[in-house]
Chain A
């Protein structure tokens, strides 16, 4: 594995080829919307000023940024609508499907439901050009932290695939959207940007599936921004299945307004190295966030996840459950932070991270945390790290299950609490298969 190229601390201003002034000029020439040009320019100014993270940053202490071969990747030109459609067995489960490939993307409505409900699924560039006022507040909007981080700013300036999903007030969208990424161009850099706006009292759901072949090197720097408005309910399931030679640094942000519910499920099985950050802000009274995650690092995989449960309003609720396993020389990092902003009283926040370490040589680090600037709140965080329970193993074996079958049952069972929350049976089945394959490999 190569890639010691970003993050030389003494030259933090180093701009990477293609992600520099010239690169921006090229991107701007491709950008039709004035709004997007302005947003990109502002983001680029931030990006230029920000230093690349180094292992001296607490957040990157356990995941060296130089593990990511960003400098060796070629940013793909802005993806355009193309006839890149190939059918996929999961498509039938959803009303709208977006297929993303290195040479373009295709948006398909499987039926009339989304159009009848007035739901918008558009390329971000088109949405920004045709309805700038509807996009402007939600692109680099208030869900994002200020100041921005280096990778967020990079995404904002250089994203090459953007998608805008808008649910009008009151719609109930059961079957939702599938976005599937099938990336197979060697040494390419995909920078996806997703913006979701769920208007008041709407309910909806989307699933992302991220795939690349094991034998090509590839990198993704995604960023997602979700706005769940008053009384709305939105669920996002992200299934990360990048190939074993792929890399990802993702930054995702969600904001729930009064009485809203934000539910985010991350399922991490793929990639050589990945670092994800998810920040969910329960920003209005009586809003709630449910954050669930599964990760399984086997072989030489390294997976780092950081979650923020941000309570910026009183009377808010958040619940987080991240379950991970490490095997072979796999390595995982979980860092969680519950943040209660000043005045955020009567807050309930729960954070649980459980890790299975399946053999010596594998490693799971768990760093739960609280940052409380308010009182009158109920907070709990807990983490466990260990191997399978010998009493449980014996119990199953005493009923005739072989040791291998008993281990499989316990490991599947360990993840089941999260798997149960995935709405689609096909995805639950896929998750079971990933776990099975990882245990057999």
Chain B
């Protein structure tokens, strides 16, 4: 039997950037082993939520809580969150010239695996397997991190990092945006390799397309910094057919007035 107590929980989360409130009381809870999708129109705060979960210094949390496996995430540094098993696949991964993919992945692996570090040979073997699985060129690992990478390569790199770090909870921030269907399939394949009873996934997306490959147990719709609707997979189909307007109507005019 799976444990039905929430292992990841966001409670009444408010956050602002440059003094401007973006998140206005987000509530969301996930049980271990589940995949949730978070959708919403542009500007609803999806990426802000992803960055706040990871601890981006540009966002200020003004109220609320994030709890992961009983720990108060908001009190942790970004690296402590990663070490605790949280992962964010970035929407726009930055390039880091001079830092090679292999070296970076080894440092990240070591930093997040504590005593379960691999020796360099075992690590390289595992890395090569992942690379093959994600249909990436072998030369990739000697390149500088995201430097000169295409959009699709950057997204595969994020998934490669996710496979390397083996997080217990991952947020994917619009990983599907800008990917062609082949790249999307590869990315989904990588993600599905991780899903299992000990892994939780929050897929943030703008398009229903990716949800054909990564099947969410729950869907949340974020509107103007709040979760306006939550439901099962049937919501995906409704969104696809009817867009966000009905959510706005049901959620109430007072939200739209902001």
Contact = CB atoms under 8 A, between A and B. Distances in A.
Contacts of B165: 399-400
Contact of A398 (B82, B98, B107): B82
A397 B87 CA distance: 11
A391 B78 CA distance: 12
A403 B56 contact: no
B132 to A, nearest CB: 22
Interface string A411-424: 01111110000000
Interface residues of B, number: 27
Nearest to A399: B108
B112 A399 contact: yes
A399 B111 contact: yes
Interface in A370-410: 389-392, 394-403, 405-406, 409-410
Contacts of A398: 54-55, 78-79, 81-82, 88, 90
Given A394-B57, A395-B90, A413-B144, A400 B96 contact: no
A271 B79 CA distance: 37
B21 to A, nearest CB: 21
Contact of A395 (B77, B81, B93, B97): B93
B95 to A, nearest CB: 8
Contacts of A406: 79
A401 B106 CA distance: 11
Contacts, number: 78
A416 B82 CA distance: 26
A413 B94 CA distance: 14
A425 to B, nearest CB: 15
Given A405-B111, A414-B98, A400 B144 contact: no
B104 interface: yes
B205 interface: no
Interface string B99-126: 1000010011001100000000000000
Given A391-B94, A394-B57, A394-B78, A410 B99 contact: yes
B82 A415 contact: no
A256 B93 CA distance: 43
Interface in B155-169: 161, 165
B111 A400 contact: yes
Contacts of B144: 413, 416
Interface in B58-83: 58, 77-79, 81-83
Contacts of B104: 396, 399, 409
A282 B144 CA distance: 32
A412 B104 CA distance: 12
User: Main secondary structure on chain A at its contact with chain B?
Assistant: helix
Given A390-B57, A397-B79, A413 B97 contact: yes
A418 to B, nearest CB: 9
A297 B54 CA distance: 34
Given A401-B107, A405-B111, A409-B104, A396 B77 contact: no
A417 B77 contact: no
Contacts of A410: 96, 99
Interface residues of A, number: 24
A413 to B, nearest CB: 3
A402 to B, nearest CB: 5
B99 A409 contact: yes
Nearest to A393: B57
Interface string B163-178: 0010000000000000
Contacts of A401: 79, 107-108, 111
Contacts of B99: 409-410, 412-413, 416
Contact of A416 (B83, B88, B97, B107): B97
A216 to B, nearest CB: 35
A295 B144 CA distance: 22
A288 B200 CA distance: 56
Contacts of A417: 97-98
A416 B54 contact: no
B229 to A, nearest CB: 29
Nearest to A411: B98
A405 B107 contact: yes
Nearest to B90: A395
Contacts of B77: 397, 403
B98 A400 contact: no
B58 to A, nearest CB: 8
A170 B98 CA distance: 35
A392 B111 contact: no
A416 B108 CA distance: 19
A65 to B, nearest CB: 35
A243 to B, nearest CB: 28
A405 B107 CA distance: 9
Contacts of B82: 397-400
A98 B97 CA distance: 36
Contacts of B108: 399-401
Most buried by A among B54, B77, B81, B94: B94
B164 to A, nearest CB: 9
Residue among A392, A395, A400, A417 having the largest count of chain B Cβ atoms under 10 Å? A400
Contacts of A391: 94
Interface in B127-171: 144, 161, 165
Given A402-B111, A405-B107, A389 B79 contact: no
B2 to A, nearest CB: 27
Nearest to B88: A398
Interface in B181-232: none
A438 B139 CA distance: 32
Interface of A: 389-392, 394-403, 405-406, 409-410, 412-417
17 contacts: A392-B94, A392-B96, A394-B54, A395-B93, A396-B104, A401-B111, A403-B79, A405-B111, A409-B96, A409-B104, A409-B107, A410-B99, A412-B98, A413-B96, A413-B97, A416-B98, A416-B99
Interface of B: 54-58, 77-79, 81-83, 88, 90, 93-94, 96-99, 104, 107-108, 111-112, 144, 161, 165
Given A399-B79, A410-B99, 14 more contacts: A391-B94, A392-B96, A397-B78, A397-B79, A398-B82, A399-B82, A399-B108, A399-B161, A401-B107, A401-B108, A403-B77, A412-B99, A414-B97, A417-B98
Shortest beta-carbon contacts, A-B, top 9 = A413-B98, A416-B98, A400-B111, A400-B82, A399-B108, A400-B112, A413-B99, A397-B78, A397-B79
